[in-house]
C-alpha cells in the first residue's frame, strides 16, 4: 500500500533527517514510528503527503510513485492528524469536522451529516458537541475531533503525528482504546508517530523503531519486545520489556490450567471426597449452566447441604484473548492466586502466576522462532 524505497531526506543546511529508508505498510495495517526526538519520524510522515519532498528515493502508494501525483489530489486520499489539532476557533465542532468534505465539494447537508456520523464514531454526541466551539471542549475531546475530521472524507490512508500527545495519561489511554476500536471497524492504513514506546506497542500492528535517521527494527510489538534486533533497540524498549510484553500477549486456551471443578447443586460431601482423592485443596464452582460462580475450599465442604451453600462468589475473571496484563491486574485487584478465563460466559480454565509466566516465555520463544505459540514447547516453569 505505502512503500518507501531507499528514501533519503537532506535539509538545505546539511542535516540528514532520514537516510536510505526502505519499508512497506500493508493495506489496513497500523504502523507506529517510534524513536527519540529528532530521529526523523515526522520527516518520514510528511514525505507521504508531500509536505516534504525526499532528496532521493521513491515513495509508492498503491504502486504509484507519489512524486508524479498532484499533491492536492494526493492529500485527498490521506487524512492527517497532528498533536496541536489545529481546529478553526470560530467554527463549530460540526463545521470543523466537515471541513475536508466541504473543501472537496460535497453538498453542505451531506458534509454535515457525514461530520455528525464521524463525531459519533469518535464518541462525541453530535447533538451536544456539534454546535460548540473548540474552546468549549477539553483537550481530549479536541483530539477526538481531530481524528473525526481526518476521517471525514473517508481517506484510505491516515497519518497521525503524536495524536494523543497533548493529554494526560488517563485520557490518553482512553483515547488509544477508542482509536483501536474504531480502527478495527474502519481498517485504514495508518502511519502513527510517537516517541512513547508504550503507545507504539499498544497501537501498532508493527513498529518501526528509529535510531538516528534509520530504522533499527521493523517488526511486530511482540518481536520488538521479545527479541530486540540491536542493543540500541533493547535499550530503547527498556529493561521492563517483559512487563510491556504482558500487554501485547493474548491469553490463549492452551495457556490455562484445569483446576478441580464442583457444581453448585452437588452434595458438599461428595465434592469433598473427590477433591481429597485428587489431592486438591479447592475447586472452582460452576452453576448448572457451566458458568462461573466462584470457588470453595475443601475445609468448607465437610458439612451437609450442597456446594452452593458453602461456595464463595468470585468475580476474578477475564475473557479469553485479553492481554496477559489484564489477567495479572485482575489477580492483584482480587488478591487471588488465579483468575478464571471465560469464553463469553463459558468457563475455560484458570490462569495462575506460573501459567502466566509460561505463556509469556512461550510467546517470546515463538516470536524468536517465527512460529505460532502453540507450537513451542519447553520444560514448564513448575518442572524446572
Ligand X SMILES: Nc1ncnc2c1ncn2[C@@H]1O[C@H](COP(=O)(O)OP(=O)(O)OP(=O)(O)O)[C@@H](O)[C@H]1O
Shortest distance, CB of residue 211 to ligand X, whole angstroms?
Answer: 11
Q: Which is nearer to ligand X, 98 or 159 (CB)?
A: 159
Shortest distance, CB of residue 9 to ligand X, whole angstroms?
Answer: 8
Q: Which is nearer to ligand X, 9 or 244 (CB)?
A: 9
Q: Which is nearer to ligand X, 13 or 168 (CB)?
A: 13
- DSSP-derived secondary structure for 235-290: HHH-TTHHHHHHTTPBP-GGG-B---EEETTSBHHHHHHHHHHHT-SEEEEE-TTS
Q: Tell me the three cell numbers of residue 269.
A: 460431601
Task: State how beta strands 30-34 and 189-194 pair.
Answer: parallel
- Residue 67 per-residue DSSP state: G
Residues 80, 162, 191: CA angle, nearest 5 degrees: 55
CA distance 88 to 134: 8
Q: Which of residues 11-70 bind ligand X (CB under 6 A)?
A: 11, 13, 15, 17, 35, 37-43
- Residue 134 per-residue DSSP state: G
**Binding footprint of ligand X, residue count (CB under 6 A):** 13
Helices then strands, counting H and E runs in the chain, come out as 16, 17
Q: Which is nearer to ligand X, 11 or 378 (CB)?
A: 11
Shortest distance, CB of residue 4 to ligand X, whole angstroms?
Answer: 14
When binding is defined by CB under 6 A, the residue of 76, 195, 274, 357 that contacts ligand X is 195
Q: Determine if 285 is a binding residue for ligand X (CB under 6 A).
A: no
CA distance 237 to 34: 10
Shortest distance, CB of residue 33 to ligand X, whole angstroms?
Answer: 8
Q: Which stretch binds ligand X (CB under 6 A): 10-18, 56-64, 146-154, 237-245?
A: 10-18
> Nearest CA to 307 among 341, 265, 345, 344?
265
> Nearest CA to 147 among 163, 161, 162, 135?
163
Per-residue string for binding with ligand X, 236-255, x by CB under 6 A? Answer: --------------------
Q: Determine if 335 is a binding residue for ligand X (CB under 6 A).
A: no
Shortest distance, CB of residue 367 to ligand X, whole angstroms?
Answer: 26
Q: Which is nearer to ligand X, 165 or 259 (CB)?
A: 165
Q: Which neighbouring-strand residues pair with 286?
A: 263, 292
Shortest distance, CB of residue 40 to ligand X, whole angstroms?
Answer: 4
Q: Which residue has the cell 540528514?
A: 16
Shortest distance, CB of residue 215 to ligand X, whole angstroms?
Answer: 12
Element (H, E) at 215: strand 215-219
Shortest distance, CB of residue 54 to ligand X, whole angstroms?
Answer: 12
Q: Which neighbouring-strand residues pair with 80?
A: 159
CA distance 260 to 280: 7
Enumerate binding residues for ligand X (CB under 6 A): 11, 13, 15, 17, 35, 37-43, 195
Amino acid at each position: 500500500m505505502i512503500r518507501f524505497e531507499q528514501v533519503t531526506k537532506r535539509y538545505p543546511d546539511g542535516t540528514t533527517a532520514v537516510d536510505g529508508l526502505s519499508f512497506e505498510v500493508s493495506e489496513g495495517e497500523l504502523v507506529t514510528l517510534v524513536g527519540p526526538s529528532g530521529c526523523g519520524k515526522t520527516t518520514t510522515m510528511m514525505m507521504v503527503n508531500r509536505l516534504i519532498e525526499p532528496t532521493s528515493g521513491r515513495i509508492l502508494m498503491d504502486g504509484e510513485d507519489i512524486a508524479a501525483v498532484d499533491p492536492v489530489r494526493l492529500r485527498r486520499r490521506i487524512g492527517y492528524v497532528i498533536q496541536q489539532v489545529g481546529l478553526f476557533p470560530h467554527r463549530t465542532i460540526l463545521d470543523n469536522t466537515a471541513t475536508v468534505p466541504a473543501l472537496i465539494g460535497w453538498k453542505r447537508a451531506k458534509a454535515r451529516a457525514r461530520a455528525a456520523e464521524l463525531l459519533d464514531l469518535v464518541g462525541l454526541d453530535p447533538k451536544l458537541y456539534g454546535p460548540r466551539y473548540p474552546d468549549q471542549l477539553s483537550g481530549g475531546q479536541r483530539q477526538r475531533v481531530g481524528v473525526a475530521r481526518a476521517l471525514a472524507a473517508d481517506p484510505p490512508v491516515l497519518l497521525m503525528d503524536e495524536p494523543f500527545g497533548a493529554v494526560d495519561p488517563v485520557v490518553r489511554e482512553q483515547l488509544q482504546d477508542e482509536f483501536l476500536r474504531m480502527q478495527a471497524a474502519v481498517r485504514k492504513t495508518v502511519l502513527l508517530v510517537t516517541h512513547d514506546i508504550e503507545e507504539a506497542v499498544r497501537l501498532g500492528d508493527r513498529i518501526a523503531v528509529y535510531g538516528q535517521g534509520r530504522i533499527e527494527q521493523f517488526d511486530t510489538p511482540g518481536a520488538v519486545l521479545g527479541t530486540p534486533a540491536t542493543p540500541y533497540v533493547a535499550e530503547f524498549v527498556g529493561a521492563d520489556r517483559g512487563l510491556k510484553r504482558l500487554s501485547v500477549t493474548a491469553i490463549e486456551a492452551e495457556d490455562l490450567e484445569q483446576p478441580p471443578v464442583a457444581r453448585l447443586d452437588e452434595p458438599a460431601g461428595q465434592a469433598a471426597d473427590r477433591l481429597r482423592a485428587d489431592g486438591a485443596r479447592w475447586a472452582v464452582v460452576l452453576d448448572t449452566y457451566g458458568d462461573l460462580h466462584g470457588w470453595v475450599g475443601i475445609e468448607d465442604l465437610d458439612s451437609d447441604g450442597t456446594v452452593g451453600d458453602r461456595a464463595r462468589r468470585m468475580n476474578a475473571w477475564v475473557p479469553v484473548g485479553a492481554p496477559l496484563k489484564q489477567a495479572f491486574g485482575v489477580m492483584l485487584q482480587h488478591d487471588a492466586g488465579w483468575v478464571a478465563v471465560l469464553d463469553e460466559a463459558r468457563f475455560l480454565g484458570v490462569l495462575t502466576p506460573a501459567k502466566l509466566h509460561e505463556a509469556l516465555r512461550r510467546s517470546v520463544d515463538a516470536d524468536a522462532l517465527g512460529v505460532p505459540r502453540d507450537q513451542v514447547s519447553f520444560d514448564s516453569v513448575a518442572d524446572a
